[in-house]
């Protein structure tokens, strides 16, 4: 997702450009459509990209193990630093901030890496397909969201009940 910012780098500090995002980005091994609007603002050092993007990724429910589409909101706020001076073409020193983003020598600001990073952070540690996900029967493994299984509700093997406590902690 590349934006040419050469004009904006020549613009005065504080100048703003809105950029409409609607692109498929490879997140966590699958292509996800990312949509939203970003504000690009010229700062004294580079370009600040700020805005909320929305996407969905396929994840596995931690309770019933089925795949579902998990909506993510990405609150992007990243400053991009130019690799070269847009007027003179001279190389600029890279700021010594870990993980900072660079606008390349062709004045291309690439959002893909930031979007991937924000998306990976936004994916819940224990995703649930729904707050009321019924999970799997600890006895036979049946997905209880699809209805009850034939297991007797009483007299569950105590070893399984211990295991299920661990599974659903
Ligand atoms: Zn589930
Ligand atoms: Zn069962």
> Looking at the CA of 140, which ligand is closest?
2
Q: Could you give the CA distance from residue 78 to residue 70 in angstroms, rounded to a whole number? A: 24
pLDDT in tens, 135-146: 999 999 999 999
> Looking at the CA of 134, which ligand is closest?
1
Would you state the pLDDT for residue 24?
95
Residue 143 Cα to ligand 1 midpoint, Å, equals 8
Residue 58 Cα to ligand 2 midpoint, Å, equals 26
pLDDT in tens, 61-95: 999 999 999 999 999 999 999 999 999 999 998 88
pTM for the structure as a whole: 0.80
Exposed, middle or buried, 38 (CB in 10 Å: 0-12/13-18/19+)?
buried
Integer-rounded Cα radius of gyration of the chain: 23
Residue 84 Cα to ligand 2 midpoint, Å, equals 64
> Looking at the CA of 67, which ligand is closest?
1
């Amino acid at each position: 997702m590349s934006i040419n910012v050469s004009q904006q780098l020549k613009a005065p500090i504080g100048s703003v450009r809105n950029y409409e995002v609607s692109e498929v980005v490879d997140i966590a091994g699958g292509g996800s459509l990312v949509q939203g609007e970003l504000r690009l603002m010229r700062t004294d050092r580079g370009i600040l990209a700020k805005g909320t993007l929305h996407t969905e990724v396929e994840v596995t429910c931690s309770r019933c193990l089925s795949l579902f589409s998990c909506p993510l909101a990405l609150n992007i706020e990243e400053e991009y630093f130019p690799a070269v001076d847009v007027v003179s073409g001279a190389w600029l020193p890279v700021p010594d901030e870990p993980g900072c983003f660079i606008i390349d020598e062709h004045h291309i600001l690439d959002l893909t890496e930031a979007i991937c990073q924000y998306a990976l952070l936004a994916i819940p540690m224990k995703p649930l397909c729904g707050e009321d996900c019924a999970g799997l029967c600890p006895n036979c493994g049946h997905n209880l969201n699809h209805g009850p299984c034939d297991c007797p509700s009483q007299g569950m093997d105590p070893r399984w009940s211990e295991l299920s406590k661990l599974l659903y902690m």
